[in-house]
Chains A and B, each alone.
Chain A
Amino acid sequence: MKRNWVQYLSLILLHSSWGPQINWICNPVLSCHSCALSWFACPIGVLVHFSGYRIFPFFAIGTLLLIGVLVGRLFCGWVCPFGLLQDLLYRIPGKKFSLPAWASSIKYLILVFMVFLIPFFLGELTMFSFCRICPSATLQVSLPDIISSGTVRFSGAMMARWGVLAAVIYFAIKSSRSFCKAICPIGALMAVLNYISFWKIKLKSETCVSCLKCDKSCPTDVRPSTRARNNIPVNRALDCIVCHDCMKGCPVNNRKDKTPQKAAT
């Protein structure tokens, strides 16, 4: 199954709300629930508000935990519309680079501070919550609002929001899935569930020819070959988005006979 077709289909299906209100269900992808066409609630928006209300979000956490345990971060790779946008932006030719390993830690700080602690202490409508700078909200809500009203209101918050979106777009062009790796608080929430999820991507160590094509095809640079060599499911990594590109990139896995062959030099 082609991943990009699933992503396009998800983009259409997730943003085609025609009536019944089912946005009490959180969908673990970055898609603003303030968009008039969205079916589901954004887990980050819900968690920000529940932190501000100071009540535990049993329903939202239960949904995220259930999806995470079953499929890990599969939704990041196959369903997330913001992931699709990044995949498309990365196709723009030019000089590319990888983010340093420490950049992956930023998303956990964002999750703890901008989703839980700051809204908890300053209230759900604080200027410093993640929702205020969310690039998905800028694209899905602020941009249509500007287009429909025909007016642009300049404020510090608005400038910050557009500045973040511009930076996210720049880094998405230069570095594959950079937002997912460094910023996305949904990714931070779901990351640890990759280690225990029932969904497993297995590349057989006995047929591995160490060609490292799986590493080259990985959009989040999680080096699947290191786990494949040790017979560990390759999606057992925090930043893996369970896209299966490593499996598609593997020359042994794609061959019918699956016997080891000498790596091409």
Chain B
Amino acid sequence: MDKTFNKYFAVFALILALAFLAVGALRTLKIHDIETDLFFHEIPERQIVIDATFSGIVRKDGILYSAYDRSIKQGRQSCPT
């Protein structure tokens, strides 16, 4: 690959990475309560990454549900897989 092209591509990828991190830091998603269905939480993506480490969110019929009670402070949880 041409060196100049390489450098431009690296700078583009770096900017893209920073943009992704900024979007990830600002984005929130609506997660429904699995018991009441109607009530939902606005959860930042950062928390969804943590939830992904122990399947704290489940997807049913195209809707994301919280798999645990978020009003109770949880300790470290382990993944069911």
Q: Which residues on A are within 8 Å of B, measured CB to CB?
A: 21, 23-24, 26, 32-34, 36, 41-42, 45-46, 49-50, 52-55, 57-63, 65-66, 68-70, 123-125, 129, 131-132, 137, 141, 193, 195-198, 236
Contact = CB atoms under 8 A, between A and B. Distances in A.
B51 to A, nearest CB: 8
A244 B40 CA distance: 50
Interface string B6-50: 100110011011111111110101000000000000000111111
Contacts of A123: 59
B57 to A, nearest CB: 6
A33 B17 contact: no
B81 interface: yes
A196 B17 contact: no
Nearest to B77: A34
Contacts of B1: 195, 236
Contacts of B18: 62, 66
Contacts of B24: 57-60, 62
A123 B47 CA distance: 20
Contacts of A193: 13
Contacts of A236: 1
- Between A55, A63, A68, A198, the greatest number of chain B beta carbons within 10 A of the residue's beta carbon is seen for A55
B81 A129 contact: yes
B10 A196 contact: yes
A62 B20 contact: yes
20 contacts: A24-B49, A41-B50, A42-B53, A49-B52, A50-B48, A53-B48, A53-B64, A58-B24, A62-B24, A63-B17, A63-B21, A65-B16, A65-B17, A66-B14, A69-B10, A69-B14, A70-B14, A124-B58, A125-B81, A141-B79
B16 A59 contact: no
Given A46-B49, A55-B29, A198 B10 contact: yes
A24 B45 CA distance: 9
Given A41-B50, A59-B45, 5 more contacts: A24-B49, A42-B53, A55-B64, A58-B24, A195-B6
A58 B23 contact: yes
B79 A58 contact: no
A141 B55 CA distance: 15
Contacts of B79: 32-34, 45, 131, 141
